[in-house]
Structure 1
Amino acid sequence: MIKIDELYASLDKIDKQMKVYELIDDDPEMKMKALENMIREFDSIGDGALEGIKNATALLKKIGSDDVAERIEKLTEIN
């Protein structure tokens, strides 16, 4: 599953790097480093999302569509 804490940590790092980027006026090298850090964090978020999708897909394959249909039917009968 997607690790939400890591996602929020990455978003926080991106936010901080954006603030740093805005404060740097005349140092292109530092601006580039801030952009590289943001890209690295976006990469990390993407990797986590892909891993979550793989896990969810594997879980769906294990369950099978007949089992899912039966569970949905049972849930609708309760209400």
Structure 2
Amino acid sequence: MIKIDALYASLAKIERQMKVYELMDDDPEMKIKALENVINEFDSIGDRVLEGIKQATALLKKVGSEDIGSRIEKIAEKITLKP
């Protein structure tokens, strides 16, 4: 499942990196590094959310009815997130 506290921690890291970015007026190399850190953190959030969606899908398939499982499969095929 998606861990909310990990998402909050990631958002806090992004906020800190954006503050660092704003303070670095004359160092383009450090600004690029700060932006790379922000991008990496957003990527990490996306990975964790995707994993949470996969886990939730698997759980719904186990506890849900056949109808729920087949609907999830159809959606997953359309968005290419096959669990």
Deviations 1:51-72 (A, max 9, x none): 110011001111232697xxxx
Q: Superposition RMSD on alpha carbons, in Å?
A: 1.6
Moved over 4 A (4+): none
Aligned length: 68
The structure that is helix-richer by fraction is 1
SS in 1 for 2:25: coil
The residue identity in structure 1 corresponding to 2:50 is L
Match of 2:72 in 1: none
Identity rate, percent: 79
Question: Match for residue 14 of structure 1?
Answer: 14
Whether 1:54 aligns to 2:61 is: no
**Which 5+ residue runs of structure 2 have no aligned equivalent?**
69-83
Deviation string 1:6-42 (CA, Å, 9 cap, x unpaired) is: 1111000000000000000011000000000001110
- Structure of higher CA gyration radius: 1
Q: Which has the higher contact order (CA 8 A, sep 6+)?
A: 1
Unpaired runs of 5+ in structure 1? 69-79
TM-score (norm 2): 0.76
Q: Which TM-score applies when normalising by structure 1?
A: 0.79
